[in-house]
Chains A and B, each alone.
Chain A
Amino acid sequence: MISRRHFLSIAAPALALSGYPVHGFTKEPIEGRIIVIMLQGGMDGLLAIPPVGDDNLFKQRKALVASNPLKLNPLFGIHPNFRNFSKMLKSNEASIVHATSFPYTGRSHFEGQNVAQSGSKLPFSTNTGWLGRAMDFAKITGKALSLDAPLLIRGAPEFDNFYPASIEKTRSPQTALIDLIKETHDGDVMIAIDKLSRGSMSGPSRLRARDPLSLATKAGESMRELNGPRVAVLTIPEFDDHSSIGSTTGHHPELFTLLDNVFYNLKIALKEQWDNTIVLTTTEFGRTVQENGSAGTDHGYGSVGLLAGGLINKSSVVANWPGLASKDLYEKRDLFATIDYRSVCSACIEAAFGLDHDFIIEKVFEDKKIARVYEHIFG
Chain B
Amino acid sequence: MYKNKHQWARKIGFGFSPNDDIPLDINAWNIEQLNDEFPSFGLNKVGLWPEKYNFSIKQRFERLDKHITYRNKVQAENIDRQEKNKRVRASKKEADVDKYDVYKLWNSAIYDNDIFKQRLLHFWTNHFTVGGSNGFRNYVIGDLIYNVIYKNLNGSFDDLLYLVTSHPGMLDYLDNQTSIGENSKEAKSLRKKGKIAGLNDNLARELLELHTVSPARKYSETDIRNTAKVLAGWGVFVGDFIEEFNNHKKWKNISGNTKFEEFVLAPYVKGRAEPGKKVVMGKTFPSGPKALRKLTNMLAKDDFTAQHLSKKLAVHFIGENASKGEVKVIYDTWKKSNGDLAAVHRATLKVAQATKNKKFLWPSTWMFQSIRVSGARFIKENESGGGFGRIQDNGRPAYEPLGILDEIGHNFWASRQPDGYSEKKLDWVSTEHLDRRIRIASRIFRAGPSRSGEEIADLLDFSDRTKLVISKGRGSEEKFIIALCSSDFMEV
Contacts and interface: CB of A to CB of B under 8 A. Distances in A.
Direct contact of A and B (CB under 8 A): yes
Interface of A: 1-7, 40-41, 62-63, 106-111, 144, 146-149, 154, 160-163, 165-170, 172-173, 176-178, 180-181, 183-186, 188-189, 192-193, 195-196, 200-201, 237-238, 240, 242-244, 291-296, 298-299, 331
A184 B465 contact: yes
B474 interface: yes
Contacts of A184: 463, 465-466, 469, 482, 485-488
B472 A293 contact: no
A4 B427 CA distance: 6
B175 interface: yes
The prevalent SS among residues of B at the interface is helix
A371 B203 CA distance: 37
A169 B394 CA distance: 11
18 contacts: A1-B409, A1-B416, A3-B424, A6-B426, A109-B417, A149-B430, A154-B426, A167-B440, A167-B443, A169-B393, A169-B443, A180-B472, A196-B435, A242-B178, A243-B178, A293-B180, A298-B200, A299-B205
A352 to B, nearest CB: 24
A178 B200 CA distance: 50
Report the 7 A-B pairs with minimum CB-CB distance, sorted nearest first: A293-B198, A294-B178, A184-B486, A170-B439, A242-B202, A243-B178, A292-B200
A183 B469 contact: yes
Contacts of B180: 293-294
Contacts of B417: 1-2, 40-41, 109-110, 237
B431 A192 contact: yes
Interface in B383-441: 393, 398-399, 404, 407, 409, 415-419, 421-422, 424-436, 438-440
A196 B437 CA distance: 12
A153 B19 CA distance: 45
A298 to B, nearest CB: 5
Given A62-B196, A177-B482, A188 B425 contact: yes
Interface residues of B, number: 66
Nearest to B197: A293
Nearest to A241: B175
Nearest to B428: A148
Given A173-B442, A192-B430, A167 B436 contact: yes
Interface in B442-492: 442-443, 446, 463, 465-466, 469, 472-474, 478, 481-482, 485-488, 490
A173 B439 contact: yes
B152 to A, nearest CB: 26
Contacts of A111: 215
Given A166-B407, A238-B415, A293 B439 contact: no
Contacts of A237: 415, 417
Given A147-B436, A183-B469, 15 more contacts: A1-B409, A147-B409, A154-B426, A161-B430, A172-B435, A177-B482, A180-B482, A181-B481, A188-B426, A200-B431, A201-B431, A242-B200, A294-B199, A296-B175, A298-B205
The prevalent SS among residues of A at the interface is loop
Contacts of B199: 292-294
Contacts of B209: 108, 110
A15 B487 CA distance: 30
B434 A196 contact: yes
A193 B201 contact: no
A243 B393 CA distance: 44
B326 interface: no
Nearest to A197: B431
Contacts of B485: 181, 184
A60 B254 CA distance: 35
Contact of B198 (A148, A177, A240, A292): A292
Tell me which of A7, A242, A331 has the highest count of chain B C-beta atoms within 10 A of its own C-beta: A242
Contacts of B197: 293
Contact of B202 (A63, A162, A298): A298
Nearest to A295: B196
Contact of A167 (B200, B399, B433, B473): B399
B427 A147 contact: no
Contacts of A181: 438, 469, 481-482, 485-486
Contacts of A238: 415
Nearest to A166: B407
Contact of A106 (B175, B215, B487): B215
A163 to B, nearest CB: 5
B274 to A, nearest CB: 10
Contacts of B196: 62-63, 291, 293, 295
